[in-house]
Each structure stands twice: as structure tokens, then as C-alpha cells.
Amino acid sequence: MDASSVPDIASKLFPNFWTWIVQICSTGILLIVFKKYLWRPMLAFFEKRADYIEKNINDSKDMREKAQVYLDEADKQARDAAKQYRTIIDQAKEDANKQKQAILDEANTQARNKLEQARSEIELERAQAQDRMKEDIVDIATQVAEKIMDKKMDEATNDAMVKNFVDEVVH
């Protein structure tokens, strides 16, 4: 094997000094350009982004707090509405019971009045029936007395005697 055909391993393992210097200088120049022209705008962009995210987080917290306040208020209103509903229902039941009692009282009063009226009518009819019965008895007694005596007295005297007799018998 020939020494010229063997690749130069040392040149491959160690870079050329001048290439190495140029690469370090170009990297330094790139860092300076990056820092001067890109670093501040990137920092400003990141700061704006951080502010935007922080603002969104704060807005979210505020909205959550407002939502909780609205939820608490809605819950309170629901409880108040339920309490009002129960009050209205209780009042309606009470009114219905009062109305029921008033109707029952009125019906009882009307029933008592009708019963009293019926009793009065029965008493009146009974009195009328007694009067008719007295008259009938007087007529019958007068006829019996006339037949028994075969003699006619005056009618007023007969009627008075028979009425006295009937009154004594009936009462």
C-alpha cells in the first residue's frame, strides 16, 4: 500500500485552523446581529404574549367571579321564588278552606231556614187542619144534636155550645 493512497486521517480529525477561526468569527457576527436586530423584538413579542395570556387569565378569573355572583344571585332568587310559591299555595289553600267553610255555613243556614220554614208551614197547615176539623166536628155535632133533640135551637147558640165542647175535647 502506498502512503499517498491512504487517506490523511490527521487532516480529517483536526480541522484547519483558519477554517476554525472563520467559523468562530461568523458565529460571533451572527450572535451580534441576532442580539441587535432580533433579540429585542423577540423579547417585546414574548412580553406582549405574556401580557396577553395574563390578561386572558385575569379576565377569565373576573368572568368566573361574576358568573359565581350571578349563580349565587340566581340561586337566591330561586329560593325566594320557591318560598313565594309556597306562601301563595298556602294562602290559596287557606282561602279555599275559608270559602269552603263560608259555603258550608251558608248551606247550613239555608237548610235551617228551609227546615224552619217547613216547620212553620207544617204548623200552619196543622192549625188550619185543626180549625177545619173543629168546624167539621161542630157541623157533625150540630147535626147529631139536631137529630137527637129533633128540635132546632137557634144556630148561634148551637154553634157556641158545640165549639165549647170541641175545645174541651181537643185540648
The single-letter code of the amino acid at 79 is R
Do residues 162 and 145 lie in contact, with contact meaning Cβ atoms separated by under 8 Å?
yes
What nine digits make up the cell of 39?
Answer: 433579540
Q: Is the CB of residue 138 less than 8 Å from the CB of residue 163?
A: yes
Cell of 113: 231556614
Name, in order, each residue with C-beta under 8 angstroms of 130's C-beta and a sequence gap of 6 or more: 170
Summarize pLDDT for 104-147 with one digit per residue, the tens. Answer: 999 999 999 999 999 999 999 999 988 888 888 777 777 777 76
* Residues ≥6 apart with Cβ < 8 Å to 167: 134
pTM over 0.85: no
Q: Record the cell numbers describing residue 4, joined without a space.
A: 499517498
Kindly list the distances between the CA atom of residue 130 and the CA atoms of 49, 98, 123, in Å, as whole numbers in the listed order. Answer: 117, 47, 10
The C-alpha atoms of residue 170 and residue 131 are separated, in whole angstroms, by 11
- Exposure of 150 in the CB half-sphere (CA atoms within 13 A): 0
* Cα-based distances in Å from 31 to 36, 37, 42, 167: 8, 10, 14, 149
Residue-wise pLDDT tens digits, 46-105? 999 999 999 999 999 999 999 999 999 999 999 999 999 999 999 999 999 999 999 999
User: Given CA atoms 92, 98, 101, 103 in this order, what sign does their dihedral have?
Assistant: negative
> Quick one: pLDDT at residue 40?
83
- What amino acid is encoded at 54 in this protein? E
C-alpha cell recorded at residue 74: 340566581
- The pLDDT assigned to 7 comes to 60
Check residue 37 and give its pLDDT: 86
